[in-house]
Amino acid sequence: MKREGLVIEIRKSIIKTGENGRPKTSLLFHVANKKKFIERVSPKLKENTAQDRMWKIIRKTQPFTINDLLTLARANYENARWFLKGLRTAGYIQSSGKGINVTWMLVNDPGPKRPYIGRLRGKGRAYGESL
């Protein structure tokens, strides 16, 4: 990444010794171009997955319910619930109502490409936003 001009400096530092006696290290990157760096290190997303179909429905249907995602995107319940939880935590959607009558609204639209909702890093940030 240094040769590509994305990173100016990489520093390795030892944080502390872990429980097993091995030192824990961290890498610190001084980034030249944040946007290109995030594109380079972000995972490559597969296309036409259940999450892609759900994201298209979320953007087109306002407000929507989890049943909309189950029927229109042909997604299973656990996948839809996990995706909605990730989008809510990252601040893309908000719920209204409780229990069975929950409806969701898109409040922060990042565009047609679905956001990556893998490991969330801290409250309100999706992967890659904390860099």
- What are the boundaries of each domain within the chain? 7-41, 46-131
Distance, in Å, from the CA atom of 67 to the CA atom of 63, rounded to the nearest integer, reads: 12
37-58: average pLDDT: 79
What is the chain's mean pLDDT, rounded? 78
Distance, in Å, from the CA atom of 4 to the CA atom of 20, rounded to the nearest integer, reads: 37
pLDDT at 117: 78
- pLDDT tens digits for range 2-19: 667 777 777 777 776 767
> Shortest CA distance to 61 belongs to which of 125, 122, 121, 106?
106
CATH architecture label of 46-131: Orthogonal Bundle (1.10)
pLDDT at 30: 73
